[in-house]
Structure 1
Amino acid sequence: MTTRRVRLLCLRHGESENVVAGAAGALPLAELTANGQTQAAEAAELLRAEGITRIYASTALRARQTAEIIAHVLGPAEVVTLPGLVEMGVGGLEGATDPATRARTAEVLRAWIVDGRLDEAVADGEDGHAVAARVVAALASIATAHPGETVALVGHVGSLTVGLSALCGLGRQVWGAPLPHAVPFPVEWDGRSWRCPSWPGLLQER
């Protein structure tokens, strides 16, 4: 009998131009830096022996570039993009680099992740309900499509953290430990519930 257990090896994209610039928002055209390309190649080596059958990525360029570098190393793995995995939107403040926008973005993320106040939003951007719902839906679609398999997923620090917090009840446990660039970590679906057994730099396997 084929097990329904699905293993997702999730990671944030490699370092990108928007991160270096401190720019807020989804920024779909921001590219990987040279350092980000190296990080993606290093992540691929970590994933080489995992038996990955497909690689999912946000539609943002930096996530697609990360996934394509990984796919090049792994060989047969196909890259599929999912709009639901994009970074949180901040509306009219998209691309802003001022300290006030950065502070407000951090404040909203804390409200979502730690306090569960999903009605909050940065300016006229997405609220936490919208971000969590689309990421959860994307992960559910992946799990449905890959019973018994291991797949990789390239996402973004904000949206991925919010979505996984909703699925695994992480919340306060992961606040203060933002996902590093291109470090894979496991997320599991057993056919009934989700499990996030570890978080880079914070949670130990349990």
Structure 2
Amino acid sequence: MDAAGFQARTGVSRETLRRYETWRRLLEERNAVMNLVGRSTLPDFWFRHALDSWQVATHAPDARRWLDLGAGAGFPGFAIAFSLMERGVEGEVTLVESIQKKADFLTEVAEATGAPVRVLPVRAESLDPHTRYDVVTARALTSLTKLLAYAKPFVDNGAICLFPKGQRYREELTEARKSWTFDHEVIPSVTSPDAAILRIEDVSRV
């Protein structure tokens, strides 16, 4: 998939597509000197990274306040922020990234694209648990069991979780059930028949 294919699949505007392209260009430049994503995945940016991240926002179209844990290179945070801009929605995506170099990269992309994001260079466990969000998300950060521990304070305040997961998501659900009870929905991923997005609510410890 190239940029044109991504636009055809998602229907994003030319302006939004330019934001994605700016993100891709900066990622390619900075990834040469720091480990933001696996270098072998860069040629497949539009499918493996952009489309995979774009789909997350489609499952909470009314959400305005997003929390992206372990934001890394900005997946899916920037795709969500671009979606807010595309729809003219006033909102914000909080990108949590404890590694300063990666946080600096996120700030650079935010400034270059005008994305409505706030970058917090802190660890997830140090976040203010009283802050209200509509959605908590995280991509390739840690196990579902640990993600639920990070997300629980915000779920208690009304948030839902949307966690993209790979082919081991069933095992992760089974393992998480040993420590947590929660309501969940398995949403098939558009980028892999073996992957899914886990929509989770009502989290409590066993």
Q: Same fold (TM over 0.5)?
A: no
TM category (shorter chain) comes to: 0.3 to 0.5
Q: Report the TM-score, using the length of structure 1 for normalisation.
A: 0.38
- Which structure ranks higher in relative contact order (CA pairs < 8 Å, sequence separation ≥ 6)? 1
The structure where strand makes up a greater share of residues is 2
